Amino acid sequence: MPEQPNGQNIARVYSEQAKSYIDFAPTSFSWQFIEKPAFDRHLRDLCRPQVRVLDAGCGSGRIIEHLINNGIQPDNVTGVDISQNMLDEARKKLPEVKLIQADLVDADLPTNHFDLITAAMVFHYLDEEGLKRMMANFHKWLKSDGVLFYVTTHPIRIVNDNLSLYQKRGWRNEKTPWGSETPFFHRTTADFINETISAGFTIDMIDEPDVAKEGERTNPEEYSKYTSFGASRLVVRARKV
């Protein structure tokens, strides 16, 4: 069992891995054929210039760039990440976006301010208490009727080779697709859903997206790998009530 990481450890991990991740992220198979199509399907109605967006765990800015390309006004976007190296890279291509270095568990952002919060591949860095606090922050920072949209590794993907481990919550080390290791907190699908509801959200949509068929033509090996998991990503759209 790996040692439980804290915010400083996560920041160090991603600072050390920043170059590898930055090189990997734009053409990542899962981004092109699972995550980006999910954003397009489920957030098309919110891609308007006046919508205020927080991208939580923005990394090098991949999601922000995609949202701007689909109609969000850059100066209405805020990105927060724990890694300064990632933000430095994001700033090169997103000079009009407000970028903040902070741990989202205790970040100080305006209350009732955002129309949309996106969080992709972030929650596995949080234990039970960390996820509770982050969900509470998201609820606080969103306007009434604001939308939380998150994408995370599907829990079944992590235990795909041994389903008896599904209920064994806790920290483990997982290999990343950019060739390193990262701390990962495994929880069940029910944990995600219940934590979202407990924070005061109404869930509008849950998706376990298929891999886009175009991925099979582009990279048959990666397509075969991702389709073998059964479900690779869990996608949730929820609303503040």
Instruction: List the domain range (segments joined by +) for residue 152.
Output: 7-229
Per-residue pLDDT of the chain (241 residues; tens, 9 = 90+): 445 555 456 666 666 666 777 777 888 999 999 999 999 999 999 999 999 999 999 999 999 999 999 999 999 999 999 989 899 999 999 999 999 999 999 999 999 999 999 999 999 999 999 999 999 999 999 999 999 999 999 999 989 889 999 999 999 888 877 777 888 899 999 999 999 999 999 999 999 999 999 999 999 999 999 999 889 999 999 999 8
Looking at residue 102, its pLDDT comes to: 96
Is residue 114 a part of any domain in this protein? yes
Is residue 222 a part of any domain in this protein? yes
Residue in 194, 197, 210, 185 with CA at minimum distance from that of residue 121: 185
Could you give the CA distance from residue 156 to residue 166 in angstroms, rounded to a whole number? Answer: 7
Is residue 2 a part of any domain in this protein? no
Residue in 9, 26, 130 with CA at minimum distance from that of residue 69: 26
Is residue 239 a part of any domain in this protein? no
Q: The whole model's pTM is what?
A: 0.92
Is residue 1 a part of any domain in this protein? no
Is residue 60 a part of any domain in this protein? yes
Looking at residue 171, its pLDDT comes to: 93
Q: Please provide the DSSP assignment of 175-220 as one string.
A: E-TTS-EEEEEE--HHHHHHHHHHTTEEEEEEE-PPPPTHHHHH-H
Is residue 213 a part of any domain in this protein? yes
Is residue 182 a part of any domain in this protein? yes
For CA atoms 62, 68, 74, 80, the dihedral sign is: negative
Instruction: Look up tokens 């890279």; give the residue.
Output: 89
Looking at residue 100, its pLDDT comes to: 98
3-state secondary structure of 154: coil
Buried b (16+ CB within 10 A) or exposed e, 67-102: bbeeebebebbbbbbbbebbbebbeeebeebebebe
Total number of domains constituting the chain: 1
Question: What CATH number did the domain enclosing 204 receive?
Answer: 3.40.50.150
Q: What angle do CA 219, 223, 226 make, to 5 degrees?
A: 140
